[in-house]
Structure 1
């Protein structure tokens, strides 16, 4: 039987907003256990986490080796051994070089006006609908779908179908293993047909750029191009929707009215706030793992502790992003520039490819929403928020606002 994944279970304690979660105190590597029972070394200090994410002897591929211990209770999209996420060394570098040919700075800047147009249209429509309103259905959910549809030339994409695929692909307890496998299989077929179509009739879209770059370099298989394509759809959709919704829960507190208005008055303020929000508000509860998982392929030392070959390591980026040795403790200055980049999107070879798109959408979304609705605020207490649960990420299912 399928678990009701999208609302809080009636008998569970109320969930707090993600910006209120307590994170692990940064300290030396410590031994814990995953929900599967597998021992895991948890890293919490910024320097240790960054070292681990960039270390050549800590990889993703070895998590799926024949002798690897179990790390997940249910399948999800992150567990595809053939994906770029789970490749290391020369194989990963070859795929990465191919992708970077499509993600040039020039291409990214060419897409910025598209994102800006979509944001403005959705914000204007929300404002015209009148107060009160529901901001998830009107803005944070459709925005990333509209943007990724435009970047990939998928106009008319079924938003509900895409949302269902993404939810299944990132499920922890929301769906059965069979339901997850079926959804991922359907999503993979969608991606495969899309790649074939763009190879036959290339355009100016992102998928065509990926296919052309792969054909020119010969660095990717069809399965890898397909995996990357659906991965970008999920990352572009899920990360933005989750970050945007959780950022609004934080920003629309009545006590932060002046902060909210400043974001709309100055785009550079929105840019700085985006970086701080991404650093301080996690994407989820860390119920499946206490960080980004890697496995040691050799003995190595991190933070003065020897990690043996074969051990699983969890890099807790949430704790690292709050390390007082790196970021000033105390009240958050939302507009202070980051002296050290956050680790929200990872670091090293597996740094998130879609980070630029998530940043762009969140920055423009917050700026234009505040510009048009400077008096926007939550219409109900945060205790009444319904949450999307049972997934790797957590965000508001609905969010009532007024102005």
Structure 2
């Protein structure tokens, strides 16, 4: 989950581009990642030149060096980054604000996402997990684990955290898919969905001002009132960004992890069930190795150089767009020597950058970790015989988004 790192209206929310069906897509953990090396020039889908940075130490520099920022990506002279602008391109978003202004806006919500704050939610999240597994079992085998588990879990958590218990999950799915779309929808469809989503965010903000509660939005508004310089537009964008980030990447990570664990990693299922510590270690390794999306859609976490900067012995000129390839960095053989099969329950050899690093490190990292740990451990404990009901080649993937995960995933037990 990240509103800071690095979804009713028409349509079903199904993220599949129009036209002929594409070739069968492999699971993301089967993709051959970029071999880490010195920064090199490539191009974004828009044709904009981009410096690809892939070594572990170089990626950390990109994510932490103040000369490489997010805000310069959206100045009037900035080159086009996406074919169809989505929520991540909003200059009012926390993701696209740097420096003091970024710190000021981030402080309005960061206390809700500290490890201590998240720990208080653990018993309740565990109860949600158990309730969803009960419903899955009651519904009988086989079942679609996406609609029954990987999607409703993070939606329930972020809805409760933000006081949105009455939010229609179909509306949320529709908005989220459009918020992170690349080619799945037209530019006009994305604009329309984002206008609807922003109107929803403004309505929630107005309701909480009128009747504050014990929820994240009310806390955000209280903090913002004491923080000079935070605009109404920034608050609304932050609210809808948190709604999307609070469930989208967790759903994606959980679905992709299950594809691996019920396939090549099936031998680990018994140990996952044994204790939460094993599940916590496996969660870190899965987050490190299994990407959230395809590199040809988004080659990395983007930054733009405010001045000339040297990275890995290569001079990057001022104004250049730089992509920190966290997937390559997370598997850099100079840092991580084992593979997922042998290292699944081992401590990380070095920090992984799935949640980013530096000022824009993902706000919701601890929440996402907790949800994944509990979801994997409790599912393995309750359903020791869980298996894929169809071969991986038959998986229906969500396509045309910044993230890729199963649209449906049939399992049996």
Structure 1 residues 368 and 219: alpha-carbon distance in aligned structure 2, compared to 1, 3 A threshold: farther
SS at match of 1:127: helix
Give the Cα–Cα distance (whole angstroms) in 2 for the partners of residues 105 and 401 of structure 1: 33
Distance (Å, rounded) in 1 between the aligned partners of 2:13 and 2:114: 42
Match of 1:298 among 296, 307, 315: 307
Q: Secondary structure at the match of 1:217?
A: coil
Query: Shift of the alpha carbon at 1:282?
Result: 0.4
Query: Structure 1 residues 218 and 332, CA, compared in 2 at 3 Å: closer, same or farther?
Result: farther
- Which deviates more, 106-115 or 340-349? 106-115
Separation (CA, whole Å) in 1 of partners of 2:44 and 2:12? 23
C-alpha separation in 1, matches of 2:229 and 2:67: 23
What are the Cα deviations for residues 243-299 of structure 1, in whole angstroms up to 9, with x where unaligned? 11110000012x543311211111000100111001000011123331111100001
- Among 279, 287, 295, the residue aligned to 2:288: 279
Please say if 1:379 is aligned against 2:399: no
SS at 2:287 equivalent:
helix
Query: What residue is the counterpart of 1:21 in the other structure?
Result: 31
Report the secondary structure of 2:26's partner residue: coil
Which residue in 2 is equivalent to 1:197? 207
Unmatched 5+ residue regions in structure 1?
Answer: none
Residue number in structure 2 paired with 1:252: 262
What's the secondary structure of 1:185's corresponding residue?
Answer: helix
CA gap of 1:256–1:73, structure 2 versus 1, over 3 A, is closer
* Alignment match, 1:180: 190
Count of residue pairs brought into register by the alignment: 402
SS in 2 for 1:93: helix
The answer to whether residue 125 in structure 2 is matched with residue 115 in structure 1 is yes
Alignment match, 1:57: 67
Does 1:390 pair with 2:394?
Answer: no
Deviation at 1:369, TM superposition (A): 0.6
Q: 1:30 aligns with which of 21, 40, 44?
A: 40
Instruction: Determine which of 99, 103, 113 is the counterpart of 2:113.
Output: 103
In angstroms, what is the RMSD of aligned CA positions?
A: 1.8
Which of 320, 338, 347 aligns to 2:357? It is 347
Query: Once the two structures are superposed, what CA deviation does each residue of 1:12-70 show, in whole Å capped at 9, x if it has no partner?
Result: 22100010011100000001111111111000001000100101000011111111111
Cross-structure match for 1:269: 278
* Residues 90-141 of structure 1: per-residue CA shift (max 9 Å, x gap): 1112112232234344422222222111111001111222221111111011
- With the length of structure 1 as denominator, give the TM-score of the two structures: 0.96
Decide whether the 8 Å contact of 2:17 with 2:185 is kept in 1. Answer: no
Question: Which of 302, 318, 324 is 2:327 aligned to?
Answer: 318
Answering whether residue 370 of structure 2 is matched by residue 360 of structure 1, we say yes
CA contact (8 A) 1:77 1:169 kept: yes
Are the aligned partners of 1:2 and 1:176 in contact in 2 as well (CA < 8 Å)? no
Q: Structure 1 residues 298, 368: CA separation in 2 closer, same or farther (over 3 Å shift)? A: same
Which residue in the other structure is 1:240 paired with? 250
Q: Aligned to 2:91, what secondary structure does the other structure show?
A: coil
CA distance in 2 between counterparts of 1:9 and 1:181 reads: 21
Q: Deviations over 1:180-224 (max 9, x none)?
A: 001011111111111121122111111111111222233522211
SS at match of 2:136: helix
Q: Which ranges of 4 or more aligned residues in structure 1 deviate by more than 4 Å?
A: 1-4, 7-11
Match of 1:164 among 169, 174, 178: 174
Unmatched segments (≥5 aa) in structure 2: 1-10
Distance (Å, rounded) in 2 between the aligned partners of 1:362 and 1:3: 24
Give the equivalent residue in structure 2 for 1:129: 139
Preserved CA contact (<8 Å) 1:257 1:375: no
